[in-house]
Amino acid sequence: MSITRRDVLQYMLNSAAVLTAAGLGANPRRALAQQQLTQDDLLRFDAKGQVTLLHFTDAHGQLAPVYFRPPDTNIGVGAYAGIPPHLVGEEFLAHFGIERGSPLAYAHTYLDYTDLAQTYGRLGGLDRTATLVKAIRAERGDDKVLLLDGGDTWQGSYTSLKTNGQDMVDCMKLLKPDAMTGHWEFTFGTERFQELVDSMGYPFLASNIFDTEWDEPAFEHTAFFEKGGVNVAVIGQAMPYTPIANPRWMFPEYGFGIRPEVLQANVDAAREAGAEVVVLISHNGFDVDRKLATVVKGIDVILTGHTHDAIPEAVEVEGTLILSSGSHGKYLGRVDLEVTDGKVTGHSSTLIPVFSDVIAPDPEMAAKIAEFRDPHMAELTRVLGRTESLLYRRGNFNGTWDDLICQGIREQRDVQIALSPGFRWGTTLLPGQDITVDDLYTETAMSYPAVYRNEMTGAQLKEILEDVCDNLFNPDPFYQQGGDMVRVGGMSYSCNVNAEIGGRITDMALEDGSPIEADKSYTVGGWASVNEGTEGPAIYDLMEEFITARGTVNVPEESTVKVVL
């Protein structure tokens, strides 16, 4: 009888429960988790064929291990409803055959999150990822392994903001990726972005970005590798709606889009050049790539990112494997390919949760991380306050971190209504933890942080909510831009996710219950406006003042949105 990695993880949890019942130790489950779950358990895998693809995506500037609570709501619409990645909680566990309370359940769902976080600890840390990558390369041989970075790597932390992305670029260079694509990388501005790309030492690939002046490809679109005696073409696809989701004025030289016809031409050209395997490293988002696999022919594997979805194994769509490898450094994706007579004839896939208590930090990477974090350590660890409740961001409609941010904006900017963008980046704090500067910046570190204060009519508010909602719930994935619903403070509304645009948002009301009227004006505060010249304090400065004044925060688990399915 073979014992799988899942068996080992479940045995470890069950053994821990026995010790807990016996009253052994203050936190026996944590101790046993560290003792019985090993790096070898995490690396155990049904290796196959000649080519191994490793996928790392959406790190959002996180160099150290983190807590990151998976979403409690991830709604798919139309043909994408009720299938991965739009499964959460018990439905997710049932679909993938994972036991509730197990390490994999902790890594992938919000269920029992606080208790399991205290048992299994943080995940991620680039020094732990480096250990896993080196172990796989040693086992398989460098000549068989491709490491691909899906982007959203450089942005999202205190040190990435203060070094303009240099910390992430220098640390990633030690991992020796073979190629990357991107999205938030462009928000450093064209000049800085190009400086960093030129310093990487490996290609930035983007089939879908064209120069706006000459309408010519702005970057390399394909890189060729020989791995395990197999010719592999890697094509890059950057986030297609970057100029809409982020400020176009920061990178006016570049035009984006999905451009499936361009991608098809590049896939065909790669095949004609002798590629036996074609891999797309994409920042489209899961549903976009699920549809893309039915539109563009000849792609063997899509390693997708942007929507931060994490699934334990690849799904197959019309002969194309699609793997999404989560975010914030929590996971390392792996796909092994068996290639015969120029075609993929077999595969294995997995998503390795990077349990930071179990994996030994790679000394070289740990030293490089310290080089960037140590000079700022006094500031990073400076305590602003304390949370009595779980602070998290992910979920289609709400997150307690953004609820707190909305409270801060309303108080500090003296507005009736606050809006916080539905970013999917931002880590989690457990009840009882201190809120440090480091923690605050994982939620707010960005290059256009001004908190505006405007007058808006009820009609304008509805239009904003309808536009964002259509971005999230348009039944055609090619019209979805990723992210979650804009968060609101000081108001409530109902959302019919399956209605047509213009009819999804109803019952808009202020917190006192009075209806929001279309022709009446309201004071509104928000942040991360894509408009050039937006004025106001930086969101991280505003929230530092707000949290420091409060000392202790407690954000209840309640939604201001009634969701109609």
The pLDDT value recorded for residue 497 is: 94
Q: At what angle do helices 5-21 and 28-36 cross, to 10 degrees?
A: 150
Q: Is 265 exposed, middle or buried (0-12, 13-18, 19+ CB in 10 A)?
A: middle
Across the beta sheet with 145-149, the strand order is 179-180, 145-149, 51-56, 331-340, 343-353
The pLDDT value recorded for residue 31 is: 55
Which residues of the chain fall below pLDDT 70?
1-35
Asked if 180 and 200 touch (Cβ cutoff 8 Å), the reply is yes
Asked if 334 and 311 touch (Cβ cutoff 8 Å), the reply is no
Q: Is 223 exposed, middle or buried (0-12, 13-18, 19+ CB in 10 A)?
A: buried
Give the list of residues 6+ apart from residue 248 with CB closer than 8 angstroms, or none.
Answer: 530
Asked if 553 and 386 touch (Cβ cutoff 8 Å), the reply is yes
Q: Identify the DSSP state of 250.
A: G
**CATH code for the part of the protein at 38-67+121-371:** 3.60.21.10
Give the list of residues 6+ apart from residue 42 with CB closer than 8 angstroms, or none.
Answer: 5, 132, 352, 353, 354, 355, 358, 359
Give the list of residues 6+ apart from residue 123 with CB closer than 8 angstroms, or none.
Answer: 65, 66, 67, 68, 107, 328, 329, 330, 331, 353, 354, 355, 356
Helices in 374-512 by DSSP H: which ranges? 377-380, 400-413, 437-444, 458-473
| Distance between CA atoms of residues 528 and 415, nearest Å | 17
Q: What DSSP assignment string belongs to 393-404?
A: --SSS--HHHHH
Q: What is the largest CA-CA distance in the chain?
A: 72
Whether the predicted model's global pTM rises above the 0.85 cut? yes
Nearest residue to 425 via CA among 57, 10, 122, 49: 57
Helices in 225-300 by DSSP H: which ranges? 242-245, 260-272, 286-295
Q: Hey, do 38-67+121-371 and 381-564 end up sharing a CATH topology, with the first three levels equal?
A: no
- Specify the pairing of strand 315-317 against strand 320-324: antiparallel
- CB atoms < 10 A from the CB of 319, how many? 11
Nearest residue to 246 via CA among 10, 410, 498, 482: 482
- CB atoms < 10 A from the CB of 195, how many? 15
The pLDDT value recorded for residue 32 is: 54
Across the beta sheet with 491-496, the strand order is 505-510, 491-496, 561-564
Digit-coded pLDDT (tens) for 482-505: 889 999 999 999 999 999 999 999
Work out whether the CA dihedral 330, 474, 278, 48 comes out positive or negative.
Answer: positive
The pLDDT value recorded for residue 557 is: 83
- Specify the pairing of strand 383-387 against strand 552-553: parallel
Domain boundaries, the chain: 38-67+121-371, 381-564
Specify the CATH architecture of the domain 381-564: Alpha-Beta Complex (3.90)
Nearest residue to 387 via CA among 67, 107, 109, 102: 67
The 3-class secondary structure across 86-132, one letter per residue, is: CCCHHHHHHHHCCCCCCHHHHHHCCCCHHHHHHHHCCEECHHHHHHH
Nearest residue to 116 via CA among 129, 128, 104, 98: 104
In b/e form, how buried is each residue of 503-516, taking b as 16+ CB within 10 angstroms?
A: ebbeebeeeeeeeb
Q: At what angle do helices 190-200 and 166-175 cross, to 10 degrees?
A: 20
Across the beta sheet with 487-489, the strand order is 451-457, 521-527, 417-420, 487-489
The pLDDT value recorded for residue 133 is: 98
